[in-house]
Amino acid sequence: MAQPETERLTEIMAGALLTRAVCTVADLGVADHIEPGAPQSAAHLAKAVGANENSLYRVLRYLASYDLFRESAPGEFDHTPLSSALRSHADGSFRVAAVLFHRLFAAHDGFDHAIRTGEPGFNKTFGKPIFEYLQEHPHLAPLFDAGMTCFHGFETGAMLDAYDFGVFRVLADIGGGNGSLLASVLQRYPQLKGVLFDLDHVARRARESFERCGLTDRCRVIEGSFFEGVPAGADAYLLRHVLHDWTDEQCVLILGHCRKVIPPHGRLLVVECIVPEGNTRSVSKDFDVLMMNFPGGIERTEAEFRALFEHAGFELNSVTPTSSIVSVLEGRPLSGGSGGSGSGSG
């Protein structure tokens, strides 16, 4: 084999070190100690974050070769746009997402298990599913919420710009997490009322969010599991980055519960990445293997979503792309059935 191929394979195989380096530097808060345009020495940075000077220099030099930080003079580092995004108070800071990865990085040790068995690598490493683990470690809840906002928060504005929620009366956010998404929709559409449905320990955080936003009079928070049912009374049921956490069988069960309560004129709104066919490069394929290894879920193609909808009693009516990676998949209830033939469990 020619040398370029072996060198490229070496670079790819060392990619785990790149991930670990970014997460560790973010956890240490190195980026917070550099003001853009005011380079700092590795010695100063090591002292500021409590790291070994030589090791930190070598890691920063390594990251600089990937355009994270820039060695502006021997031993001194300034920001690039990528490293600036790791600053805690940067607009759209991504630091918390990297710190979350740092805390859960051991899950990657189970990746081989995921490939061989089809079971999540997280379960192998931590001994239980990720959402059960997070429930048992409540100190991670604020970090998880903030990390998910880092990954997906920017999608909210793109979704609101692309899709008209003004035609609905009541919007139910199923698996709505800390309520940030539903709060944004309600603030954009003052005539709309909302229902947030999630597990009890998550719902508590959502109530606090709605109180801060002054939306308690327009939004109910209901506790429960979407594997057991969802509340009636809405004419639109929204699931953002919910289905990608679960298997097809589990998704049919979730969507089937929506089908049982949705009115004939209602709409199912699924906000997810759509995996392109073929060899097209897409971050959705990165997310797909992350979903495989962490919760055991799947990022899907449009054809796979269409089949999922049909199995649950919906017709995929339209796909609305946004300026972000996600699209809004709108489903209409099929006549003559209540859906939900699956029997998965959570």
Active site residues: 244
Cα angle, residue 202 at apex, residues 199 and 208 outer, rounded to 5°: 135
Interior angle at CA 156, CA 332 and CA 316, nearest 5: 15
Give dist(CA 324, CA 336) in Å, integer.
Answer: 36
Three-state SS for 39?
A: coil
Q: Is the Cβ–Cβ distance between 266 and 314 less than 8 Å?
A: no
59, 65, 71, 77 alpha-carbon torsion, rounded to 10°? -50
- Nearest-angstrom CA–CA distance, 199 and 203: 6
Closest C-alpha among 275, 316, 307 to residue 292: 275
Closest CA to 75 of 43, 28, 51: 43
Mapped onto helix, strand or coil, the DSSP state of residue 81 is helix
Beta bridge partners of 223: 198
Classified as helix, coil or strand, 234 is coil
Question: Do the Cβ atoms of 156 and 180 come closer than 8 Å?
Answer: yes
From 75, 78, 34, select the one nearest 57 (Cα to Cα). Answer: 75
Q: What are residue 327's DSSP bridge partners?
A: 272, 321
Q: Which amino acid is at 4?
A: P
